[in-house]
Amino acid sequence: MTRPFLPALPITILSQNADAIRTALHTAMKKNSCLKAGPEVLIRQATDTPSQINCDAVEVMIADPDLAAQIIPDCTNLTWCQSTWAGNAPLLNGGKTDYTLTALRGVFGPLMREYVFAYLLQHARNLDGFAEQQAATPPRWESATRMPLRGQTLGIIGVGDIGKALMPVAQSFGMTVIGVSRSGNAVKGVERMYATAELHQFAQQADHVVNLMPDTPGTYGRLNEDFFACLKPHSIFINAGRGNAVDDEGLLSSLDKHHLAHAVLDVFTQEPLPSSHPFWRHPKVTVTAHTAAESRPADVASVFLDNATRFAHGDTLLYQCDFAKGY
């Protein structure tokens, strides 16, 4: 049954970007002031410090999951938390489940496309090789080895909202797309889907692999040396999903054994990545600082306000997380 419309919605913001999110909300609400469908959003608390939150006053919250996890057990009146992240392991594994948790989705696809294909093209067109030739003394005019993407197979582990965003670009380059999901059910535009139990068969068919798996106990260490041994010597592995899905030692060993050509890593089990970690100096590893697809305050505001209208009308919220599944 739909509840009566809520004309006002008091909220709490707990985020490293609290001030920027507050500004983005005000900007978006002014821009959409002519739209009367949504409630008036009243920002009661906005901070980056969990200890400053009055937990008893929290009913609706926009929050970074790592910060929210510190106070949510004490937020007895919480009904809805809008995360600022795509992944929400700190909250999904936090024990408290008597509220609605919504993820930040529908905004990361374009950024992830840029990240993934920047590195695939870097290797396909051997940009590093040409840079070395230009920097040599004297410079060398040589036809460096290239392996264009056309005709190759891109494997996507985790064909969700972000994974699907890669498909049109891959197909525009003439690539075939295969994928992995928990169920292995068919996905439109994907040549073949595999269940997570079929990772090795999937790896044998892929030229390049992008991991976008969610952070769940069932994914920990699944991408190990046995998995990497199934790849091709020219394969590029890109991890922009979760760091703990990768067995670091297994990946390093596989690179040294030439089971794959290169690894591009944006996420790690420990962040920041310790300066002593061998990934930093391995010639076949590219490290980026968890920047593949970052959330922007304007995106957080947009997703929240859309859901706030649904919440005020008693409708089902978009991008709800499933505590039982862990994503």
- What string of DSSP letters covers 145-172? ----STT-EEEEES-SHHHHHHHHHHHH
Catalytic site residue from 192, 277, 290, 296: 290
Q: Is 242 among the catalytic positions?
A: yes
pLDDT single digits (tens) 296-323 = 999 999 999 999 999 999 999 999 999 9
Catalytic site residue from 113, 208, 242, 262: 242
pLDDT single digits (tens) 134-182 = 999 999 999 878 899 999 999 999 999 999 999 999 999 999 999 999 9
Describe the strand order of the beta sheet including 192-195 as a list of residue ranges. 192-195, 176-181, 153-157, 208-211, 236-239, 262-265, 285-287
- Give the domains, in start order, of the chain with CATH numbers: 8-106+295-313 (3.40.50.720), 109-287 (3.40.50.720)
pLDDT single digits (tens) 57-80 = 999 999 999 999 999 999 999 999
pLDDT single digits (tens) 82-129 = 999 998 999 998 889 999 999 999 999 999 999 999 999 999 999 999
Mean pLDDT, the chain, as a whole number?
Answer: 95
Q: Is 234 among the catalytic positions?
A: no
| Predicted pLDDT of residue 1 | 42
- Other Cβ atoms within 10 Å of 268 Cβ, number: 20
